[in-house]
Chains A and B, each alone.
Chain A
Amino acid sequence: MPKGLRRRYLAFKIVSEGTVTEGELTKALWDAVLRLFGEYGASQTGLLLVEYNGERKYAILRCWHKALELVRASVASITELKGKPAALHVIGVSGTLKALHKKFL
């Protein structure tokens, strides 16, 4: 990891009519980032889906701390998954996975 670059872990809850797979969620996230901020913006996010729990309907993603607001806006802008209405609600943000689990999940 380059010096000075910090990571942020963002947990969010998935509210949707149907079930979604990890791949579909990742695609929806990337599509949202690309739609709102384009390829240049997407390249700055360092977006990665770290954890996905289909049963409890939550997921954790990782991004660079400088791109947190950008990623948060993209997550909030998602209104459908697999063509069905959906909403992703951010539960919390933390600097480490351990703290995120401890505080929010």
Chain B
Amino acid sequence: MNGGKNALVALVGIPNVGKSLIFNRLTGGRAWVGNWPGVTVEKKVGKLKINGIEAEVVDLPGIYSLTPYSVDELIARNFIVDEKPDVVVCIASAVNLERSLYLAVSLLELGANVVLALNMIDLAEKEGYKVDSKKLEELLGIPVVETIATTGYGIDELKNAIKNALQEKKKLIHTVSYGKEVEEAIRKLEKLIEELTPELSNRYPARWIAVKLLEGDDDIQDKLAELPGGKDIVVQANSLRNDLEKRLADLESFITEHRYEKALEMARAIVKRVVTSRISLTDAIDSILTHKVLGIPFALSILYLLFRFAFEVSPPFQDIIDIVINGYLHDLVVDSTILPKWLASLLADGLIAGVGTVLVFLPVVAFFFLGFALLEDVGYMARIAFLVDKLFSKFRLPGKTIIPLIIGFGCNVPGVMATRTIEDENDRKTAAFIAPLASCNARLPVYLVIAGAVLGHSAGFAVLSMYVLGIVLALIMGFVFRRFLFKGPSSGFIMELPPYMKPNPSNIAMKTWERTKKFLYKAGTVILLGVVIVWLLSVIGPAGYLGPNNIEESFAGIIGRALSSTIFKPMGWDWRATVALLFGFIAKEVVVGTFGVLYGVGEEEESVARAIVEHQSFTPLTGYAYMAFVLIYVPCVATLAAIRSELGLKYAVLTLVYEIVLAYVVALIIVAGGHALGIP
């Protein structure tokens, strides 16, 4: 253990092995999230208690090897290499053995104190084969524990194995040999490393450094070059490598292949077929869901169902929140006699009304994410990426980009954050840039109110067209950004395609909560701050404090009028519409509420719609243009904050600018095009 501190346990595994579930099982679900130094990838840490021993457990991102390919993998590798956890729990999948064992072998080479959890053995048995974990234990020379994370089977044994590993002294296990010639070179380098850079060989096994040098690992070369005597080693390693490559072809692939061959050999040795299996269920389902022609219509139906589910189930919950916050709490503050008038107004009309409007959407967002997590958990989301890849690649985007966009339908904030799993740096940035164009739940009430008020029979179609418009614009802008801003070829995307699985309730609950939490966080922080500013603008004017019901004379009203008589003049929106847009910066939900306040009719959607009709604020054409503008003009403040934390301030500002310009252009095209066609 590392001197007196709490013991440190790291969880690693290839993607889709049930790592998060094992993490939850080990820590009892209590985890806190921090950021890795220097990057925005979340670091999940929990506590593990085994018979009086306490250890900190860190959940690392899914990795295939210790040679990083994406940001996620670099983090995981650096953690294992530099932090040197006391125990590394390698979670292997019994239905994806070879790749799991490749990772295990790589960890052993590094000299990590590894415990292997052989997860999903139930699935293997269902597929008709048996995995001999005792034999694997012998072959690897480390403890192997069979687990089924979904039921909790084997978790106690795993805890015990971790405990034993914490107490035992680890021994270096020599797993893969690379043939006579390479081994000779490794030995030479090993000796050199131990002589010239003892400070390094004390921290990592010399053999590992030697192998990495022969593989041409840049990171290790840089590390060595910093040390006195290190340069000589690099020179020697390069000459050995050149020498070997003359005889053995590319040394890096030679080494990878040997390691892979070893993993494969072990997998063959421990897998026994017991039943001749039938055609797998996954194949049967996939023959329809990934069908060339039928796949897309099915995907659209499933997504439609997802929306319907979220919207049909949430109204009762929304009503409760509405009654409690916008009714009871609001009235309580307004009617209170202790508070000064301005403070009561700030609390009631600013904070409670603002945050309340956002919180009313909590059920819709939560149920949407619940449905999404279900689709994700059974393994359907990866199939959608497959279905759209061809179309997306015409816009220079990888198919994986669809996932942040779909999450964005729920709430743009987790949508932006979901771009992290995209490996290619340029692809990832582009995805984060266009993710806010997905029409989130917050925009829907604006569409409903305006379309309901002025578009009559075509209202439903108009609302649907907003979702399509969002995706079309996302594709077009994606192409533009990929072509001109984030240039360079894409390294493409690879995804593990798991067999369809029975959904696991606790896994779904966890994922739903993680995303919903981000929405709540947004309501509690950025929006809270935003509403205070807006409230100030709406109650203060050149004449001083005006109270809550004189928005027309306030700064907000003045700015609104100025804008609607100048740059928004071509669109024909009145000053109220413009003021609502200003307030919509905070969150799109606020737009409807603002209309309500400006017409003096409250926030009920029906009454707002009626007021719009009475005041003739919009024609069908300008109303439709307004809907498009609301879709595009700016993600809410919280989304901008998310983009800032993902890409930096510069890009957040750029998103703000491009979206306003784009919204203006699209709205103008709609109005001008409509006029040209003779629509008033």
Whether chain B is bound by chain A comes out as no
